[in-house]
Chains A and B, each alone.
Chain A
Amino acid sequence: MRPLDWIVLVTSLVSIVAYGLYRSRGSDTVDRYLLAGRTMPWYAMALSIMATQASAITFISTTGQSYVDGMRFVQFYFGLPIAMVIICATAVPLFHRAKVYTAYEYLEKRFDAKTRALASLIFLCQRGLSAGLTIYAPALVLSVILGWPEHLTTLLMGATVVTYTVLGGIKAVTWSDVQQMCIIFVGLVVSLITVMVLLPHTVSFGDAVFLAGAAGRLNAVTTTFDWNDRFNVWSGLFGGTFLFLSYFGCDQSQVQRYLTGRSISQSRLGLLFNAVAKIPMQFFILFIGTMVFVFYHFVQPPLLFQHTELARLEARAEFHPVAESYQQAFDARRQATLALVDAHHHGDTAGERRQIAQYRAAQKRIDQTRAEAARLVERTGGEKGFSDTNYIFLSFVTKYLPAGLVGLVIAVIFAATMSASSGEINSLATVTIVDLYRRHIRQGRSDHHYVVASRMATLFWGVYAVVFAGWGKRLGPLIVAVNVVGSLFYGSLLGCFVLAFGFRKVRGTATFAGMLAGEAAIFWAFLFTNISWLWYNVLGCAVVVGTALTITYLAPPTGEPGEPAQSARERTPQPG
């Protein structure tokens, strides 16, 4: 990091906090502190929703993912527009009209207190676990790339987030999210332009895209169905729809964003903006990764992008044959690439086919050598299941971007971490106070009392996230952990809301039992099967709905919906 990078980074961070706090003046009642007085315009909500969903690992890992695996990850988002439409048509008007603070508060109106409490606890478990990971994942990568101690990056990000979230509440979170998304957009565009400028002059944008395609990196759609394949069009459309329905319909960290809207229309517009913008944005991020991949056809990339592991290996004798093989493979690929571009320029189709075969053979050798190096890391006492995917983009940034832009991209990573983390901390505090503290522990206190309690809860969850981030190292591979943690809990929450919205005869007790059965089914699938985590949401939701409907059929409740739930058996007069 050069002085100009520091100036850009510090200015970005300070301006994010200052702007958020400036816009959050007057957050002195519970309604204003937790829901911004329901006054937010659609564009602020739209960017806040986007920022909360896009954590730093999205930018670090997605670019790396397309470098090694191509663009098929974009299919993961195909279910998002469908989910947004369903939520806009169902959940948004209901939540708005119910004037609730949390999604789970609505469940008590629809079912009963125990269902609300169970849903709140499931949310706190799930979101509490991810809150630490949200901070830890980028802190780890930044510490390796920048050479800073891990606890310093964790503390720096954690302290900044906690400061403005505690002081400013949801307004500070939302307005700082807006600014963070602006920084993220600028950073992404600048990154792509820089990659293109760094390509050799003889290689045009069209050539770069052609090369990425020849390497199989532009595989945006895979139509083959496979239960165990995470990313194909079917898992994206079906599994993705369920995942995003759970995330945007049942997860308070997202629901709270659109509850702050000044009207139903504003909230809908905020969500629908994401339905339109999210897939192109992810495509764009993945495309940057593929262009970095093409850039490294002309400049030799390190054998491993995680430089501390690479330095450790370089000191060992068994590393040198692997490094030599890598050098030969890179030279062969470079030759094949130049010949392929030349054939492409001359419109020589037969020559293109020949060169593509040679190019792919050389690429295969490079992939094999990198895999061999990763195995060597494991064999010599390194991390099990070692992968350097998360380090590819930041390694490129710090090595090749000019002064100032490195600071900007690091600011993007910080901004993404802070926006995702602040949303989580704020929603955790809201559920803790509204669904548990105000409902079960201290009822009927003054507004001021609950504002102070909300600030304390925010502080608690912020400190918890930072402390938990310190334990992140023991949780295994980060991306797996982040994704699996969410999918372990979302299915039953979604099932609960599906019952609330769609099945008028189902009551609280049946729903409660269904949620417990759904959780049991998901943990069974997680522990004893190889089903991809994207399907856990479908499974959990189906089990919750199936169990609740079975119970309702076997012991039909009496009385009108909307009255407190009471089964026929409960209504039968007892002797004596």
Chain B
Amino acid sequence: MPRPPDRGALETARRLPRPIACGEAAMCHYVLMPQLPPDPDEPPPFLGTWRRVYMAILIYLGAIIAGFYLFTRAYR
């Protein structure tokens, strides 16, 4: 039998601002899975926080597309 949801956690989750796209802690509250045990997360091995790592990946994608665009133009 699944454990009944923790009312306190639900209320806390409801008071939290709505998450925009990512942000894992907010996401878990948003999805409301109070029965999930807390699982301490480790920080990434570089850049300090996962948010910064994600930003770095998206910047990398932008750079790659820009690089390919210049490559295409250079040899067109």
Contact = CB atoms under 8 A, between A and B. Distances in A.
Q: Which 7 pairs across A and B sit closest by C-beta, in order of nearness?
A: A213-B75, A89-B22, A220-B68, A562-B5, A265-B42, A97-B36, A218-B75
19 contacts: A81-B57, A81-B60, A85-B54, A86-B21, A93-B41, A209-B75, A213-B74, A213-B75, A216-B76, A219-B76, A221-B71, A233-B65, A264-B42, A265-B41, A272-B57, A275-B61, A562-B5, A562-B32, A563-B4
Interface string B45-76: 10000100110011011001100110110111
Contacts of B50: 88-89, 268
Contacts of B39: 93, 96-97, 264
Interface string A67-84: 000000010001001101
A85 B53 CA distance: 9
A561 B71 CA distance: 51
Most buried by A among B2, B58, B72: B72
B54 A210 contact: no
Interface string B20-35: 0111100110111111
Contacts of A85: 22, 54, 57-58
Contact of B71 (A84, A220, A265, A501): A220
B63 to A, nearest CB: 11
Given A212-B75, A560-B10, 13 more contacts: A81-B58, A85-B54, A85-B57, A93-B39, A97-B37, A97-B39, A213-B75, A216-B76, A218-B76, A220-B71, A560-B32, A561-B10, A563-B5
A279 B72 contact: no
A86 B21 CA distance: 8
A232 to B, nearest CB: 12
A276 interface: yes
Contacts, number: 124
Contacts of A94: 27-28, 31, 33, 36
A562 B57 CA distance: 34
A263 interface: yes
A56 interface: no
Interface in A497-521: 500-502, 504
Interface of B: 2, 4-5, 7, 10, 21-24, 27-28, 30-39, 41-45, 50, 53-54, 57-58, 60-61, 64-65, 68-69, 71-72, 74-76
A539 interface: no
B20 to A, nearest CB: 11
A501 B31 contact: yes
Contact of A89 (B23, B68, B69, B72): B23
A508 to B, nearest CB: 14
A218 B5 CA distance: 56
Nearest to B26: A89
B31 A504 contact: yes
Given A86-B22, A265-B42, A78 B65 contact: yes
Interface string A223-236: 10000000001000
Nearest to A87: B22
Contacts of B68: 74, 220-221, 283
Contacts of B5: 560-563
B72 A221 contact: yes
Contacts of A96: 39
A190 to B, nearest CB: 24
Contacts of B2: 109
A98 B27 contact: no
Interface string A370-387: 000000000000000000
A74 B65 CA distance: 10
B5 to A, nearest CB: 4
B42 A279 contact: no
A84 B36 contact: no
Interface in A252-281: 263-265, 268-269, 272, 275-276, 279-280
A110 interface: yes
Contact of B28 (A81, A97, A213, A561): A97
Most buried by B among A85, A223, A560: A85
A221 B33 contact: no
A455 to B, nearest CB: 30
Interface string A552-567: 0000000011110000
B33 A269 contact: no
A90 B42 contact: no
A138 B38 CA distance: 45
Given A97-B36, A220-B72, A560-B10, A504 B30 contact: yes
Contacts of A265: 41-44
Nearest to A81: B61
Contact of A98 (B4, B36, B60): B36
B27 A501 contact: yes
Contacts of B27: 89-90, 93-94, 501
A268 B9 CA distance: 26
